[in-house]
Amino acid sequence: MEGNIAEIYRAYRINSTANSHGNQTREQKTVLKNPQDRTHHNASGIKMQGNLDKDTTNFTTKFIDEVNKHDKAAISKEELFKMAASPIAPIRRVLGVKDSSERNKRVKTAGLALLALNNLPMDFSDINSVLKQIKNKKIAPNPTQMEFTFAQDTLLEFPLRQLRKKFDTQKFDTVYDKIDKSLFNTKIGQKIVNAMNLTVTREIKPGESMDIIKNGLKQNKVYIIKGKSKIAKLICRSMMRIPVLSVAAFALLEIPDIVSAVKNEEQKDKKIQAAGKQLLKSGINIASMVAGMAAVGAVLDRRFGAIGSLIGIGIGNYFGEKAGTFVNNKLFENKNNK
C-alpha cells in the first residue's frame, strides 16, 4: 500500500514540477512587459507551491499511518481468531489449507486438504467426546495415555478393513502395528524411555485381550506410565502422541519447497547449500509444530482429559508454528541481512 502511494506522490511531484516549469516560461514572457508583475507573481507563486507541498506531504503521511493502523488491527484480529479457533480441529485444518493457498503452494495445499478430509471422522469424534464430557460434568485427570496412530478413526479405516479381510488377519495386524505406530514404539523411542528409567505397561481392562479388534481393525493401545520424573513422563506421553506416518506426511509436503529452493538458486555450486538450508528450515517447522501439539496436548490431557487434549493440541499447534517461524528467522534472516 505504501509503495503505491509513494508512486502516486512521485508522479504528482513530477507533474507539479513540469507545470511549474511551464508557468515559469510564461512568467518570463510576462516579465518583459511588466517587471513588477513578475516580482509579485513569483513571490505569491513560491508561497503557494511551498504550502501545497507541505499539505500534500502531511496528508500522505497521515493517510499511510491510518492504513498501517488498520492493517495491524486486521492482522491482530486474524491472529486472535486463529488462536481461538485452533482447538477446533476442522477449522484449524481449513485455516492451514487457506494459508498455504495464499502462498501459492499448490502441492502443499492439496496435501493439507486431503489430510483435513481424511481426519474429519476423527476430529468430529474428538469433539463429540468433549461434548459428552462437558454434558456429564466429568472433566477429570487422565492417568493413562492412548497411543496415537495415523489411520485410526479416519477415512482410511474403511479400505484398511477391506484389505484386512483379504489377508491372514494375524499377519496383517503384525504388519499394521509395525507401520502405523507412534514415536514411542520406535527403536529410538524405546531407547529414550529406557534411559529415563520409566516403567510403561499396557492397560488391559477386565475381559479384554491384548489386541482389541473393533470394526475389523485393531484399536489404539492405552498405556500406564510410572516414574519419578514428571518431565520424563511428559516426554514419554508426548512421544505416544506423535504418529510416525503423520511426521512422514508433513515431511513429504515440504519437498516442493526444497525443490523450489534449488531451482531459485542461480549459482550451481550453491544449489546443494540451498537444498540443505531449506531442508533444515522445513525440519524446524515440522519439529516445532509436532512437538508443540504433542507436549501441550499431553499436559492438558493429563489434567483435564479429552477437553484438555483437544485444547492442548490446538494451542500447541499455533504456538509451535510461531516458534518454528521465530527460530528460522533468527537463524537465516539475520544472516541474509548481514
- Provide the residue-wise pLDDT of the chain in tens; the chain has 338 residues: 444 444 544 544 445 444 444 444 444 444 444 444 444 444 444 445 555 555 566 666 666 666 666 555 556 788 888 889 999 999 999 999 999 999 889 999 999 999 999 999 999 999 999 999 888 888 888 999 999 999 988 999 889 888 888 888 888 888 888 899 999 999 999 999 999 999 999 887 665 555 555 555 667 788 999 999 999 999 999 999 999 999 999 999 999 999 999 998 888 888 999 999 999 999 999 999 999 999 999 999 999 999 999 999 999 999 999 999 999 999 987 555 54
Task: Give dist(CA 39, CA 42) in Å, integer.
Answer: 5
- Tell me the whole-structure pTM to 2 decimals: 0.74
User: Pseudo-torsion of CA 183, 189, 190, 191, nearest 10°?
Assistant: 170
All three cell numbers of 176, joined, read 499394521
pLDDT for 334: 59
pLDDT for 244: 96
**AA letter at 303:** R
All three cell numbers of 332, joined, read 537465516
- 3, 7, 56, 158 from 14: Cα distances, Å: 17, 11, 14, 69
pLDDT for 210: 53
pLDDT for 30: 43
Rg (CA), the chain: 31
Q: What is the DSSP annotation of 265-309?
A: ---GGGHHHHHHHHHHHHHHHHHHHHHHHHHHHHHHHHHHTHHHH
Cell 488491527, located at residue: 73
Contact between 223 and 200 under an 8 Å Cβ cutoff? The reply is: yes
**AA letter at 157:** E
Contacts of 119 (CB under 8 A, 6+ apart): 89, 93, 154
E strand segments, the chain: 144-146, 199-202, 213-214, 217-218, 222-226
Task: Give dist(CA 273, CA 229) in Å, integer.
Answer: 41
Phi and psi based region of residue 226 (left: phi greater than 0; alpha: psi -120 to 50; beta: remaining): beta
Task: Give dist(CA 273, CA 79) in Å, integer.
Answer: 33
Phi and psi based region of residue 239 (left: phi greater than 0; alpha: psi -120 to 50; beta: remaining): alpha
Task: Give dist(CA 42, CA 64) in Å, integer.
Answer: 33
pLDDT for 175: 87
Task: Give dist(CA 201, CA 227) in Å, integer.
Answer: 12
Burial class (CB in 10 A: 0-12, 13-18, 19+), 194: exposed
| CA dihedral (146, 150, 155, 161) positive or negative | negative
Task: Give dist(CA 272, CA 262) in Å, integer.
Answer: 7
Contact between 86 and 92 under an 8 Å Cβ cutoff? The reply is: yes
pLDDT for 145: 94
Query: In terms of DSSP bridges, do strands 217-218 and 213-214 run parallel, antiparallel, or are they unpaired?
Result: antiparallel
pLDDT for 165: 84
